[in-house]
Amino acid sequence: MKKRLGPVIFCLLALLALSGCGSSSGTTPPPPPKPEFLYAMTPPGPTPGTSFQLTTYKVDTISGALSSSGTTKFSGPLVPQVTVDPSSKYLYISFPSPGAGAIGIFTIDPSTGVPTQTSTFVVTQICISCPPISGPGVLSLDPAGKFLFYGSSTLGTGVFEGIGALGVNGATGALSGVTGSPFPGDDAPFFVRVHPSGHFLYTENIDPTGASGITLQSVSGFAIDPNTGALTVPVPGSPYSPQVSSTIGGLAVHPSGNYIYATTGLSMNGIMGWSIDAAGALTALSNSPFQPGSAASGVGSFDPTGNFFYVSGGGGGRGIMGFSVDASGGLMPLSTSPFALGASVTSPVIDPTGKFLFAGDTLNKVILTFSIDSATGTLTPVGPATQIAAPPFVLTIVKAP
């Protein structure tokens, strides 16, 4: 925040640097940095009656150490998905139960990060002749926190596969349906991702009948009405065919908004990349897919500068793959990559300061912490791994409000 000071208050300027004008009592230490919150979703255990569980950790932004704040339990037949609004005040969890899908709305305790459920938005369609709406799955908020979008989680003939759009009340976190939602997608829009500008939404689509499993059928792009949150028209050229055989893994948009990437998962064909033009249209990047033959999986994360990109190497102890990003969006494997060989990690997440990377090791039931070298992108383990009761398969990290 800028301050305008005149010469008559020069002493006040000195007070900002010293403990007192004309005093030698030393400088005032800066306030401690705010913590960050890491959320880890774990599946039900083998014991009957166990539930999905969300564990909250406070992140020490100086050391990267994790300290557990509490746990929240959920029930349901399908995997819940988590997202947090940009202000870090509200957390949303999809409950993708077929025929009774809903999204839980939670407030975040600013000191502990522990979420408390305040309400539930039930996804319904009141129409006698209409097919049931697919349950909400993957969630994505626009950068301003005004709109929440969700993908389809329910497959099968007779289910309406669409892209859900909800308005967000900034004062309460409450949700309301956007007129026209859910909007028709291409095939089953399983994964959704909002562009950093908030102007476009992209989806990864799979066969709605379920016959092709999780094979990626296409990638689609849509323009977003900035006033209503409605999906207006497809971007030019949409939908786009996969560049190589692929299964769904997620979409990661570069912080600049100029590029988008998709891992090929079980197909082991590396990472596909596209450039994004001003109209939201996609064009395959030169030399894409990158590192063909590798088992890159999951969404992946960029550091805040956009210089480095990290993805899971998939199961089988393949660890984490790290890349540098060149000026044209190309991915070049880091000389020190892969990291954490022997660990089967889920999609890694990077803290807002860009100092630390966290990854859930599902094989060993731990959360791994790494420091990030800002010059080289090299990951260095920090402290002992954090034990957790079950395999951590979804991680989300946010700054404290």
- Cα(359)–Cα(343) distance, rounded to whole angstroms? 10
pLDDT reading at 62 higher than 80: yes
- Res 233: pLDDT: 94
Whole-model pTM?
A: 0.89
Q: Mean of the per-residue pLDDT values for the chain?
A: 87
pLDDT reading at 226 higher than 70: yes
Q: Is 7 helix (H, G, I), strand (E, B) or coil?
A: helix
Strands laid side by side in the 52-59 sheet: 66-74, 52-59, 36-42, 394-399
pLDDT reading at 26 higher than 70: no
pLDDT reading at 256 higher than 70: yes
Rounded mean pLDDT, 357-371? 95
- Residue 134: pLDDT band (50, 70, 90) is confident
User: Lowest-pLDDT range, 9-23, 33-47, 186-200?
Assistant: 9-23
Rounded mean pLDDT, 67-94? 89
Amino acid (one-letter) located at 373: D
Residues 141-197 have pLDDT tens digits of 999 999 999 998 877 666 778 899 999 999 999 999 999 999 998 888 999 999 999
- Res 275: pLDDT: 98
- What percent of the chain shows pLDDT beyond 70? 87
Residues 136-151 have pLDDT tens digits of 989 999 999 999 999 9
Q: Which one has a higher pLDDT value, 138 or 74?
A: 138
- Cα(401)–Cα(383) distance, rounded to whole angstroms? 26
pLDDT reading at 389 higher than 70: yes
- Cα(347)–Cα(40) distance, rounded to whole angstroms? 12
- Res 172: pLDDT: 95
- Res 8: pLDDT: 33
Is the preceding peptide bond at 289 cis, omega within 30 degrees of 0?
yes
CA 327 to each of CA 75, 257, 258, 307: distance values in angstroms, whole numbers, following the listed order: 45, 13, 10, 9
Q: Which one has a higher pLDDT value, 209 or 62?
A: 62
Amino acid (one-letter) located at 349: V
Rounded mean pLDDT, 373-381? 97
- Res 73: pLDDT: 87
pLDDT reading at 22 higher than 80: no
pLDDT reading at 298 higher than 60: yes
- Res 23: pLDDT: 37
Give one DSSP letter per residue of 282-350, joined into a string.
EEEPTTPSBSTTS--EEEEEE-TTSSEEEEE--TTT--EEEEEE-TTS-EEE-TT-SBSTT--B---EE
Are the CB atoms for 244 and 273 separated by under 8 Å? no
Rounded mean pLDDT, 255-259? 97
- Cα(85)–Cα(87) distance, rounded to whole angstroms? 6
Rounded mean pLDDT, 256-261? 98
The neighbouring-strand residues paired with 184 are 162
- Residue 49: pLDDT band (50, 70, 90) is low
The neighbouring-strand residues paired with 309 are 302, 323
